[in-house]
Amino acid sequence: MRVHRTEHARHFTVLPNSVLQCRRLSFTARGLLADLLSRPDGWRENAQHMADTSPQGRSAVRKALKELTEAGFYRVEKIRMPDGTIRSEAHVYDTPQLALPGVTRPASGGATTGGPDVPVVKNLVKEPTHPADGQQTADEAGGEPGGREGENREIEQAPPIPDAQTRRAVATLFRVIRCEPRLHLGEAEARSLAPLVAQWLARGATPADLAAALLPGLPAQLHAPAAMLRNRLERKMPPAVGPAQPLTARYAECAKCHDPVPQPGICRACAGLVPRQIAVGGGEAVTRNGAARARVALRAAKTMGLQVSALATG
């Protein structure tokens, strides 16, 4: 590549090569930066006017300004005027300014004393020399000496261990919603829903019943899955199962002959109201006759099947 340059006497801008060759910036961002640096100091132009006066769209100009801001070449400062109004002032740099002008970053090492105008910060670790009135020191109260923060702090109690019913309800809930990624819950959220799930299980519901109540009809974007599950668990709670009713016999037996009767007591034959009818079977003759009829039916079915198969092959 051969580069041809012209010597200019006026209307030109000097830019460092590190800016024009910065590969971290897109070509649109570098071109916009060169355009802004070519303007005189005090030039006023916003992103909308830049986009309207160039082939680039507003989104491209906005993206380029964001790149320049993140790289430290461009920033917008809000200035409050004496009359109370706020004015925006843009600053463009030919070298990246990752820190605001006039703001010094803290150096590594221990803390140092600030200037006379810096307010004094209370040392929370140092032991107070004069306790307040009515306040006992650690030695008088029987505690350990020393005033370091956290030494006399009460030990936080560990979260209670869930019982077997809560663990079962949590496991059932996770098993039901495992197939739906939109219903992502944490352990604490699942424990808060465990009492409702336990009520469902106590009322005879199965995991399939819970899935049918919780999973259908979910919105495309779900922002509060725990609240949605709580609403459905409360709104679709199955009715409470009442005490089991004792099973009543569909028929009663006669107290004398043990024949079935519609009501407890004795039958009409035992009461002498009607003569008793005794049904006597044929015994071996009846069995022989039934077996003969069964053989005839089987032979007829076999013959019919052979005829159908012959017609199909023919």
- Tens of pLDDT, residues 3-41: 667 777 777 788 888 778 888 888 888 888 888 888 888
The whole-model pTM stands at 0.32
Distance CA(63)–CA(310), nearest Å, equals 83
Higher pLDDT, 84 or 176: 176
Nearest to 211 by CA among 186, 179, 234: 179
Average pLDDT, the chain: 76
pLDDT given at position 155: 45
pLDDT given at position 150: 46
pLDDT given at position 154: 47
Distance CA(31)–CA(55), nearest Å, equals 12
Q: Which of 79-83, 173-177, 303-307 has the highest mean predicted lDDT (pLDDT)?
A: 173-177
Within 13 Å of residue 305, how many CA atoms lie on the same side as its CB? 6
Distance CA(61)–CA(160), nearest Å, equals 56
Residue-wise DSSP of 215-235: STT--SS-S-HHHHHHHHHHH
Q: What is the mean pLDDT of residues 143-147?
A: 47
Q: How far is CA 265 from CA 106, 221, 249, 254, in A?
A: 103, 69, 14, 6
pLDDT given at position 11: 78
Residue 152's pLDDT band (boundaries 50, 70, 90)? Answer: very low
- Tens of pLDDT, residues 285-303: 667 777 788 888 788 877 7
Helix axes 225-235, 187-202, angle to 10 degrees: 10
- Domains along the chain? 17-92 (1.10.10.10), 164-235 (no CATH), 252-282 (no CATH)
Nearest to 90 by CA among 113, 106, 73, 102: 73
pLDDT given at position 194: 92
- Tens of pLDDT, residues 43-91: 777 777 777 777 778 888 888 888 888 888 888 888 888 888 888 888 8
pLDDT given at position 246: 64
Q: What is the mean pLDDT of residues 250-274?
A: 81
Question: Could you count the other beta carbons within 10 Å of the beta carbon of residue 268?
Answer: 14
- Tens of pLDDT, residues 103-144: 444 454 455 555 555 555 566 666 666 655 555 544 454 444
Q: What is the residue type of 226?
A: A
